[in-house]
Every structure is written in C-alpha cells, then in structure tokens.
Amino acid sequence: MRPFVFVNIAMSADGKISTKERRQVKISGTEDFSRVDRIKAASDAIMVGIGTVLADNPSLTVKSPDLRAERRAGGKDEHPIRVVVDSAARTPLDADILHKGTGKRIIAVSRKAPRERVEALREHATVVVTGEDSVDLQALLEELYRQGVRRLMVEGGGTLIWGLFEQGLVDELQTFIGNIVIGGKDAPTPADGEGFLREADFARLRLIEAVQLDDGLLIRWSVENR
C-alpha cells in the first residue's frame, strides 16, 4: 500500500520551473501561493528531491497561522512531515527543512550513503534507508504509508517528479502556469530525467479542472496509471 501521491509544480508560460542555473524563481502569485499553503496543510507529508534542497533551501512549512491552528486543533503537527529524497545523505545539517518549524522530518537515503553523514542526519530527522545506489521510491512510499501518510504532496523538482512518473507512482498533477517566460534549453522542467521514448509508455492524464488564478492558470489532472 502507498499514499495518494499528488505533484504540485509552478512553471513559466514556456514550461520552465527555474533558470538554467537552477536559481529559484517566483512564478506563482498571491492567490496561487495561498492555494499551495492550503493543499500543503491538507497533506500528511510533503516531499522534495535533494536537488531542490540544495538549490532553494526550502522550509516547506505551512505559512498561514490559521491553517497551522486548524492542524493543531485536529490533533496534528503544525506542518506535514517533511521528506527529502537524498540517496547520498547530502542534506546540509543547517538546511532550513531540518530547523524551521516543529514536526517530523524524514530523510530517505540509499545503502550507498556514507555512514557518518547518516548518523549526523539522525540528530535532526528519521532516516529511512531503501535502494542500493538511489532511493527506491516505491519502497519509500510504502514506508511512508506504514508511518501513517495517506496523502503525499510532491513539490519537485523535475528529476524527482520524473522518477515518480517513470514508475507510475503519481495519482494527480497540479500545474500552475505563470505569466513569465524563462527560456533556456537547459532550464529545468516539471519532468526531467531521461523521458519516455515510446508513446505507449507516456503517462496519460485526464483533465479535472482549469481555473484562472492571478494572471496564470491552474490545471489539475488525474493520472491514468498503467
């Protein structure tokens, strides 16, 4: 068993999620950032790849005091469990994700992760070990389910999202398209990695809704898993 997995990503009108230097870019406007906070607060856990931690140093906390209070009133931690997919245990010990806000953190590493790094991370987080060279995403999701996670939000980046799509582990995709053009053939996109080669392998989506937010568009799709 695994949680319901939904990806939320903000991209420019030309399909980029940051600059080619992997510098964090503000794509969402006020309405979309409020929506992101609401869907985060409604999730049991939120997951990113180590590339996003190194590039953006996110905290992935719930920003609205009202939403945090609602979570507390429901007997939950103020913030969902924060999960980093990090095969080699490269998460910096001073990363915001380990220090900002209360609640549980999980660092998922592979068996190749250096023991001393793993021990140092254990001071701040629960470490889950799966996979030989890189994290086994299916096994990680099953472990999250065992730990009570039923609804998992994935915030990126493009490499992790690709890994999840490649293995048929995404149930819903929420894409906010903002009113900027970033450009650059090497700028990250919502699903990077190797990409599917055969049409038969493409992930197929069914449109749930498309709504205007700020000067952009939010599109929600469900994934027809193979």
Ligand X SMILES: Nc1nc(O)c(N)c(N[C@@H]2O[C@H](COP(=O)(O)O)[C@@H](O)[C@H]2O)n1
Tell the smallest beta-carbon distance from residue 134 to ligand X (Å): 20
Residue 95 engages ligand NDP in binding (rule: CB under 6 A): no
Q: Is 99 buried (19+), middle (13-18) or exposed (0-12) by CB count in 10 A?
A: exposed
Query: Which residues, 131 to 150, sit near ligand NDP by CB under 6 A?
Result: 134-135, 137
Stretch that binds ligand NDP, among 15-23, 39-47, 68-76, 115-123 (CB under 6 A): 15-23
Tell the smallest beta-carbon distance from residue 100 to ligand X (Å): 8
Query: Binding ligand NDP by CB under 6 A: which of 5, 7, 17, 60?
Result: 17
User: CA 66 from chain center: how many Å?
Assistant: 23
**Residues in Cβ contact with 66 at an 8 Å cutoff, skipping those fewer than 6 apart:** none
Residue 158 engages ligand NDP in binding (rule: CB under 6 A): yes
Taking alpha carbons only, the member of 10, 4, 56 closest to residue 33 is 10
Tell the smallest beta-carbon distance from residue 89 to ligand NDP (Å): 9
Cβ distance 204 to 224 under 8 Å?
Answer: yes
DSSP symbol at 14: T
Question: What SS3 class is residue 166?
Answer: helix
User: Token pair for residue 65?
Assistant: 């005091």
Q: Kindly tell me which of 24 and 66 has the beta carbon lying closer to ligand NDP.
A: 24
- Which chain residues interact with ligand NDP by CB under 6 A? 9-10, 17-18, 22, 24, 27, 48-52, 55-56, 85-88, 90, 134-135, 137, 155-160, 163, 188, 192
